[in-house]
A and B are shown apart, each in its own frame.
Chain A
Amino acid sequence: MTAPDNSSSQEPKDGEELRIGVFVCRCGTNIAGFLDTETVREYAQTLPGVVFAKENLFTCSEAGVSEIKRGIEENRLNRVVVAACTPRTHEPLFRATCEEAGLNPFLFEFVNIREQCSWVHKSARDSATNKAKDLVRMGVARAALLEAQTEIRSPVVASALIIGGGIAGLSAALSLAKRGFEVKLVEKKEEMGGMLRFLGRIYPADVDAREIVSARIEEAANHPNIEIFTSTQVSDLRGYIGNYTATLRGPEDRSEGITVGVIIVATGIRALVPEGLYGYDGRRVVTQIQFEQELRKGGDLPHQVVFIQCVGSRNRERVYCSRICCMTAVRQALMLKEKTPSAGVHILYRDLQCYGVEFEELLRKAKKVGVRFVAFREENPPVVDDGSVTVISDVLGSELTVPADRVVLSTALLPDESGAATSKLLKVPVDADGFFLEAHVKLRPLDFATEGIFVCGACRWPCTVSESIAQALGAAGRASVYLAAGEVAVEPIVAVLFDEDKCRGCGLCASLCPYSAIEMVETDSGTKARMISVACKGCGVCASTCYRRVIRMEHYSDEQMQAQISACLKGS
């Protein structure tokens, strides 16, 4: 880890004159069409510290970028302000431009006069122009106080902790091990394999679930890079990306400490036990998993089978769809029909979830071989009697009684019980139903917001075996980015305790930090906060709660914020 470096010759030393350059973008007519960019430029020129102000047709074009570089070189600019679109899309470009011209990229300030000005005040040209002037004034005031920053780097231990020894955890472990990284694979149960231990044949590939998982368990057990811990749970976790220390509590309460660089969460799911629902007794009225065992064993199979879907799910208590139970019901129906073609099978459903080409094909096949599908409404659930099930068909609008030697309940799938503890320990979020929440549902589906921790498999959402494996490989791929690099770089927007003497060691900052990036340490002068820069994400919660006001947010310091507020209200 390196401290912020202020040695670059381009930065102003104490007492050195501020030389701010302001570039006002016309963005064709996107900005210039709705506010007066020339007036904004003229105004910028009058602001304190500004030595150069220029209008660009398109600041982000090659010509615009060259104008910034030339502006920096010819005018010896030590701060750059661009008034254009949004930092959320173009900040990286202009930071890089500054860097190429020899200016530290954190001496750049973005002013948004398009998305948040010209585009939203199209019929108020004067107001929009005034607003743009105010925003530029605020940007210049902030720019004057900006400081050079350098990336923070920290080493990454080339080892991964994987929590959960089901198909997802095993697949991720093997993938990482084969790339040459060490893996510690932790399973809380005595036996590895997770949910697949209870399944029979998996469709659409029609392979034996236990064979798949056994092969992987064996491969993992024999792999020199994988260490398996069964009947073990993670009882404590400290550290940050690249350097986590976990305490594993194994059989007979034996504890062991391990150090890893990254963590993958693959804690899986369990099926709801439908106590009190539809006369569940585990014999005549069973769950899908119980019926799976019956199908597996073969022998005398029931002749009349009724599946009831959405048992304990898509209701007020659990609003979500468990997503794979429709396909499981269709698969089990087909397996039964294959063994006993004359068997009568009814699937009572509310909506059918059979997605993907293969499963749609499976559904067509089931209809073709005579599996009957009956839709019912949530408010009219089927009634299970001795030997039959009565349902009000939503299509026919009338009551229908079908024979039933066996009733199979397609129950809700729930996250594993360990999820809550894992969430708390790793400080990663779960949703209202207890499933893990990724950093971004579209853009970062396998990352947690906390860097260095990843998620895969059904603990994220009920999913099929192939989806589990795909996600596991993805998570392993994401994790290996950090493991292979051997070090991690963090944007230097981090919290700094700038006056340790004033810190009273109250610990409020440490307890509020969402990332455990602050630890309380004993020093000769008492308890003090210590910032772990590499784990800090720069939210600034600590700075806004420190009653001693001795925590500075780099690049968003109190002084920089106050300067913006003052400039906003001081007026021209």
Chain B
Amino acid sequence: MARKKSPAGGKKKKEEFVPRIVVFACNWCSYAGADSAGVNRIQYSPHFRVIRTMCSGRVHPGFVLRAFEMGADGVLVSGCHIGDCHYIFGNERAVENYEKMKALVRTLGLEEGRIGLEWVSAAEGPRWGQVIDEFVERVRRLGPSPVGR
């Protein structure tokens, strides 16, 4: 994800910080929710990139470490609502892994706000857009990550 500059001749004087955000979305709920946002033409921030996993419980804390090492400003993990997991309780493992991820983020000396865990169902297209917008804004406020530069 190349750092983007505001268009030449734009009104903004200072280059606006565009965060680099990796989103892990489970295939059955959150990825489908993102598709549903598209079908409903929900408009939201483009400053994130989705990586599809089968289950949010698949996201190894090592993946998050890699992302921050590579210079990500934020990482969001998104899965099915608790009780609705396609894999019965895979998302409960995601909750446990999320605790490890938070510890990892602290070890790196980063703010906990750079990591997020959200539940978005296949039917929650508008919510997906909202979750992304809020996370992008949260990371934007935190500014560029000092790690991996």
Contacts and interface: CB of A to CB of B under 8 A. Distances in A.
B38 A561 contact: no
Given A116-B35, A119-B38, A539-B87, A568 B22 contact: yes
Interface string B49-66: 111111101111111001
A370 B77 CA distance: 61
A255 interface: no
Contacts of A432: 83
A134 B49 CA distance: 8
Interface in A33-84: none
A250 to B, nearest CB: 30
Contacts of A126: 4, 7
Interface in A91-119: 112, 114-117, 119
A284 interface: no
A450 B38 CA distance: 30
Interface stretch (A288-296, A404-412, A456-464, A541-549): A541-549
Nearest to A127: B46
B93 A544 contact: yes
B113 interface: no
In the A-B complex, the 7 residue pairs with the smallest Cβ-Cβ separation, listed nearest first, are A115-B38, A540-B58, A539-B87, A569-B70, A539-B55, A119-B38, A514-B88
Category for how many chain B residues contact A: 35 or more
A344 B37 CA distance: 56
A569 B50 contact: no
Interface of A: 86-88, 112, 114-117, 119-124, 126-128, 130-131, 134-135, 138, 427, 429, 432, 449-450, 493, 512, 514-515, 537-541, 543-545, 549, 553, 556, 558, 561-562, 564-566, 568-572
A558 B35 contact: no
Contacts of B4: 126-127, 130
Interface of B: 1-4, 7, 20, 22, 27, 31-32, 34-35, 37-39, 41-44, 46-47, 49-55, 57-63, 66-67, 70-72, 83, 86-90, 93, 97, 129, 148
A119 B35 CA distance: 10
B98 to A, nearest CB: 11
A120 B1 CA distance: 18
A565 B22 contact: yes
B35 A449 contact: no
A127 B47 contact: yes
Contacts of B52: 87
Contacts of B20: 569
Nearest to A562: B66
A291 to B, nearest CB: 37
Nearest to A432: B83
A119 B40 CA distance: 9
A544 B86 contact: no
Given A539-B55, A568-B49, 11 more contacts: A121-B46, A449-B88, A514-B87, A514-B88, A515-B88, A541-B93, A553-B58, A558-B60, A565-B22, A565-B51, A569-B72
Given A134-B49, A556-B58, A561-B51, A120 B88 contact: no
Contacts of A566: 66, 70
Nearest to A569: B70
A540 B129 contact: no
Contacts of A127: 4, 46-47
A378 to B, nearest CB: 26
Given A88-B32, A562-B63, A566-B70, A120 B44 contact: yes
B138 to A, nearest CB: 19
Given A449-B88, A538-B54, A561-B63, A119 B93 contact: no
B44 to A, nearest CB: 6
Contact of B60 (A86, A544, A569): A544
Given A449-B86, A512-B93, A544-B59, A115 B51 contact: no
A481 B131 CA distance: 41
A558 to B, nearest CB: 7
B57 A539 contact: yes
A570 B70 contact: yes
Contacts of B87: 449, 514-515, 537, 539, 541
17 contacts: A119-B38, A119-B41, A121-B43, A127-B47, A138-B51, A449-B88, A514-B88, A540-B55, A540-B58, A556-B53, A558-B63, A561-B53, A565-B67, A568-B51, A568-B70, A569-B70, A569-B71
Contacts of A138: 49, 51
B26 to A, nearest CB: 9
Nearest to B86: A449
B35 A86 contact: yes
Contact of A116 (B34, B54, B60, B62): B34
A568 B58 contact: no
A117 B50 CA distance: 10
A1 B35 CA distance: 35
